[in-house]
Structure 1
Amino acid sequence: MARDFTDDDRDKDVVTAEGNRIGTIRDVNEGRATVDRDSDQDLTDKVKDLLGWDNDESNELRSEHVDTYDDEVQLRRP
């Protein structure tokens, strides 16, 4: 269910397809979200590769990586 991020998505938790919380949407700009990643959450290489994330604590999330946008934003499976 791809769609651009909106201001309503700000402060939502971001979780993996398995439901593990990886961070919170801090900001939304031009349909993309910036995620503050939980510092204690180790992401698998598969999830990092899917998202194109390196080791920064703040990362961009694009709608193509999202499965659902409900009370939380759930990533699609890698």
Structure 2
Amino acid sequence: MAARFTQSDEGKRVVAPDGEVIGRIVDVREGTARVECLADRSDTVRSRLGWSDGERRYALDTSVVAAISESEIQIRRDL
């Protein structure tokens, strides 16, 4: 996905391909979205996104995004 994140994306859920909610966009600055990850979410999903353990907020790269709707950001299946 080539689009950049905008402030209108703040508050949207970030959803894995299987429908699992990973977290929520808490901040967008200069086209980069920051996700607050839910503590009990899958280590596998975080690993595929390149997110390390022990953090609560992560940068979300648009290259891993399949779609952006009014309420959520969907992660690509092929990661």
Q: Same fold (TM over 0.5)?
A: yes
C-alpha deviation, 1:2, in angstroms: 2.8
Correspondence for 1:75? 75
Same amino acid, percent of matched pairs: 39
Correspondence for 1:51? 49
Q: Deviations over 1:5-53 (max 9, x none)?
A: 0001000000001111010000001111000000111231xx3343211
RMSD: 1.2
Match runs of 1:28-47 below 5 Å: 28-44=28-44, 47=45
Correspondence for 2:23? 23
Q: Secondary structure at the match of 1:26?
A: strand
Moved over 2 A (4+): 47-50
TM-score by length of 1: 0.88
Gaps in structure 2 of 5+ consecutive residues: none
Query: What is the number of equivalent residue pairs in this alignment?
Result: 76
Q: Deviations over 1:39-73 (max 9, x none)?
A: 111231xx334321101111000111100000200
Correspondence for 2:5? 5
Amino acid at match of 1:59: Y
Amino acid at match of 1:67: A
